[in-house]
A and B are shown apart, each in its own frame.
Chain A
């Protein structure tokens, strides 16, 4: 910055830094995929006994839903949760039943909205600004709540999401025969091998090795995704800013598509929706303008689970692809049900406005909303449902 106010700051793009980040991204993606496959390997090693009870509990769709909500709220990333679910469903042995995983995926959709709601709490100092920011943040919550309310009963009754996803998965994976083999299976096995050998050297007990492998794999998924998001964000920062600022004045379809593509680019719906919160707080965008971008982000975040699913191999690999497609179809179905008709579209918007009015009058109510609906209530319900 110069010695006077109007000097334009100079920014030179660093090509070497871009290549470096691209290489880092490839490495992180590899770690992520090794983590996904490692989780499946860990479940195989663990054996059926311990898992039977856990999986039997998740047969309760309500418990599955709250596990999805709580798990995602805790890690603040639906990508982590859905990738873990994909890995568990696609595990070569002792896989999580697909039907049990569907409500968990739905819960993950709800849990991820906690991040941008927390971001909006930073605007508390100014009542009107906070009202606007909180409304923009919570329209995401209400959209996902409404989608679950509409689709979970339908899914339990008809299984339409699962059946549709199975059909699509069969198209995608049926070419290789009964078992789907990931094109990068060998590379991933080469990554898991050393970890398994290290754990075997640490302890001879298979179950302990399995638990450690599961924990290490989950940690790899979590850490890799955090850094993937950071790296992608730094790589595409300018394109994201251009796209979102230009989309603000565009029609809803364009805004939705931009929300989806930006989320795919940064690999995080929370990043995309959190970017809208300060804009809403400042009054630069209205709630109605933010909504389609938010919905698009919902659809875009399903790509991570699809990437995870594409990397798994074995007898249950198609199930892994199926559950990833369930995630995608769930979000698309929610959009198709809620957005096109104005009276239905206005439901999450007016709920967001009303909640924002309450939160603006009592900021403690806002904090209580986040703490209660995303953490305390799911924990209580999970405990009661066990």
Chain B
């Protein structure tokens, strides 16, 4: 017991601990996007699968609260202005990662709400293609963020902006389609969720490229401005 008590006084690396928790949260969220996509596009999803996705989302939410608490405790106790920018970035980006997890959960939720089959048409294929591209680029986005790879992040920002625009374009086409209200809403919401996932991934990547006060800004001129600052 004494050993455990003394271990409380072992110097920790609070920033690294927060960053490790953030990486874990990001990994969970990105896995959840794939699981949410599987759930939406699967012909028959089991209730247990949806519950497993919801439990995973709860884990992500707990990590968000844990990281926020770690940030507040560290800034209160360490009285260290040097750590302030990194802490503020984490406070902002945990929200984006948590939202990614939420939208992934919502994809599964759509299927739970309307379990019927998806239409076999051009719009659904476009949605499936959007999904495939989002999932394929998730790993690259995560890597660019984790390794603070600025060049990769700039290139990915342009790619993810296109994905977000594709999602918006798809919603317009679905709205103009002859699908029933139920089917149109299901497809439009799924497109919207993928578009929002893209939006939050863009915020994440902006953390690699932008200074703190320009976080979440990722228009072309913002990127050029940031490049000019380096």
B74 on interface, CB distance cutoff 8 Å: yes
Q: Which residue of B lies closest to A282 (CB)?
A: B72
Most chain B CB atoms below 10 A, which of A2, A4, A245:
A4
Q: Which residue of the partner chain, among B72, B78, B88, B211, contacts A4 with CB atoms under 8 Å?
A: B211
Q: Once bound together, how far apart are the Cα atoms of A250 and B77, in whole Å?
A: 17
User: How far is the CB of A74 from the nearest CB of chain B, in Å?
Assistant: 25
B108-160 at interface with A (beta carbon < 8 Å): 145, 148, 150
The count of chain A contact residues (Cβ–Cβ below 8 Å) is 32
Q: Interface digits, B55-91 against A, CB 8 Å rule (1 contact, 0 not)?
A: 0000000000000011011101110001101101100
Stretch in B3-11, B28-36, B98-106 touching the partner: B3-11
Question: In the complex, what residues of B have CB within 8 A of residue A278's CB?
Answer: 76
Tell whether, in the assembled complex, residue B8 and residue A243 are in contact, meaning their CB atoms are under 8 Å apart: yes
Known A4-B150, A4-B209: A241·B86 in contact at CB below 8 Å: no
Tell whether, in the assembled complex, residue A275 and residue B10 are in contact, meaning their CB atoms are under 8 Å apart: no
User: How far is the CB of A31 from the nearest CB of chain B, in Å?
Assistant: 26
Question: In the complex, what residues of A have CB within 8 A of residue B208's CB?
Answer: 4-6
Stretch in B13-21, B177-185, B190-198 touching the partner: B13-21
B167 on interface, CB distance cutoff 8 Å: no
A100-117 at interface with B (beta carbon < 8 Å): none
Interface residues of A (CB under 8 A from B): 1-9, 11, 237-248, 250, 254, 257-258, 261, 275, 278-279, 282, 284
Known A241-B77, A284-B69: A5·B9 in contact at CB below 8 Å: no
Tell whether, in the assembled complex, residue A4 and residue B76 are in contact, meaning their CB atoms are under 8 Å apart: no
A-B contact pairs, 17 of them (CB 8 A): A3-B226, A4-B148, A4-B211, A4-B226, A5-B211, A6-B89, A9-B83, A241-B12, A241-B74, A242-B8, A242-B11, A242-B14, A244-B77, A245-B74, A246-B8, A246-B12, A284-B72
Tell whether, in the assembled complex, residue A245 and residue B148 are in contact, meaning their CB atoms are under 8 Å apart: no
Q: Once bound together, how far apart are the Cα atoms of A248 and B66, in whole Å?
A: 13
User: How far is the CB of B30 from the nearest CB of chain A, in Å?
Assistant: 17
Tell whether, in the assembled complex, residue A1 and residue B85 are in contact, meaning their CB atoms are under 8 Å apart: yes
Tell whether, in the assembled complex, residue A5 and residue B85 are in contact, meaning their CB atoms are under 8 Å apart: yes
The count of chain B contact residues (Cβ–Cβ below 8 Å) is 38
Q: Which residue of the partner chain, among B10, B15, B89, contacts A242 with CB atoms under 8 Å?
A: B10
Tell whether, in the assembled complex, residue A4 and residue B210 are in contact, meaning their CB atoms are under 8 Å apart: yes
Q: Which residue of B lies closest to A7 (CB)?
A: B148
User: How far is the CB of B170 from the nearest CB of chain A, in Å?
Assistant: 31
Q: Which residue of A lies closest to B215 (CB)?
A: A5
Tell whether, in the assembled complex, residue B211 and residue A9 are in contact, meaning their CB atoms are under 8 Å apart: no
Q: Once bound together, how far apart are the Cα atoms of A275 and B76, in whole Å?
A: 7
Q: Which residue of A lies closest to B22 (CB)?
A: A6
Tell whether, in the assembled complex, residue B14 and residue A245 are in contact, meaning their CB atoms are under 8 Å apart: yes
Most chain A CB atoms below 10 A, which of B73, B211, B226:
B73
User: How far is the CB of A18 from the nearest CB of chain B, in Å?
Assistant: 12
Q: Once bound together, how far apart are the Cα atoms of A245 and B210, in whole Å?
A: 31
User: How far is the CB of A116 from the nearest CB of chain B, in Å?
Assistant: 13
Question: In the complex, what residues of B have CB within 8 A of residue A5's CB?
Answer: 85-86, 88-89, 207-208, 210-212, 215
Q: Once bound together, how far apart are the Cα atoms of A248 and B8, in whole Å?
A: 11
Tell whether, in the assembled complex, residue B77 and residue A257 are in contact, meaning their CB atoms are under 8 Å apart: no
Question: In the complex, what residues of A have CB within 8 A of residue B210's CB?
Answer: 4-5
Q: Once bound together, how far apart are the Cα atoms of A1 and B73, in whole Å?
A: 21
Q: Once bound together, how far apart are the Cα atoms of A7 and B67, in whole Å?
A: 17
Q: Once bound together, how far apart are the Cα atoms of A278 and B5, in whole Å?
A: 24
User: How far is the CB of A233 from the nearest CB of chain B, in Å?
Assistant: 10
Q: Which residue of the partner chain, among A2, A4, A245, contacts B77 with CB atoms under 8 Å?
A: A245
Q: Once bound together, how far apart are the Cα atoms of A161 and B229, in whole Å?
A: 67
Most chain B CB atoms below 10 A, which of A237, A243, A248, A275:
A243
Top 4 nearest A-B pairs by Cβ distance?
A238-B11, A278-B76, A5-B89, A242-B12
Q: Which residue of B lies closest to A279 (CB)?
A: B76
Question: In the complex, what residues of B have CB within 8 A of residue A243's CB?
Answer: 8-9
Question: In the complex, what residues of B have CB within 8 A of residue A250's CB?
Answer: 8
Q: Once bound together, how far apart are the Cα atoms of A246 and B86, in whole Å?
A: 21
Tell whether, in the assembled complex, residue A237 and residue B78 are in contact, meaning their CB atoms are under 8 Å apart: yes
User: How far is the CB of B108 from the nearest CB of chain A, in Å?
Assistant: 30
Q: Once bound together, how far apart are the Cα atoms of A173 and B93, in whole Å?
A: 60
Most chain A CB atoms below 10 A, which of B72, B77, B210, B212:
B77
Q: Once bound together, how far apart are the Cα atoms of A245 and B76, in whole Å?
A: 10
Question: In the complex, what residues of A have CB within 8 A of residue B5's CB?
Answer: 254, 257
Known A242-B8, A279-B72: A3·B230 in contact at CB below 8 Å: yes
Q: Once bound together, how far apart are the Cα atoms of A8 and B208, in whole Å?
A: 11
User: How far is the CB of A299 from the nearest CB of chain B, in Å?
Assistant: 15
Known A8-B15, A9-B82: A275·B77 in contact at CB below 8 Å: yes
Q: Which residue of B lies closest to A265 (CB)?
A: B9
Known A1-B85, A3-B229, A4-B148: A284·B73 in contact at CB below 8 Å: yes
Q: Which residue of A lies closest to B230 (CB)?
A: A3
Tell whether, in the assembled complex, residue A245 and residue B70 are in contact, meaning their CB atoms are under 8 Å apart: yes
Tell whether, in the assembled complex, residue B10 and residue A239 are in contact, meaning their CB atoms are under 8 Å apart: yes
Tell whether, in the assembled complex, residue A6 and residue B145 are in contact, meaning their CB atoms are under 8 Å apart: yes
Question: In the complex, what residues of A have CB within 8 A of residue B207's CB?
Answer: 4-6
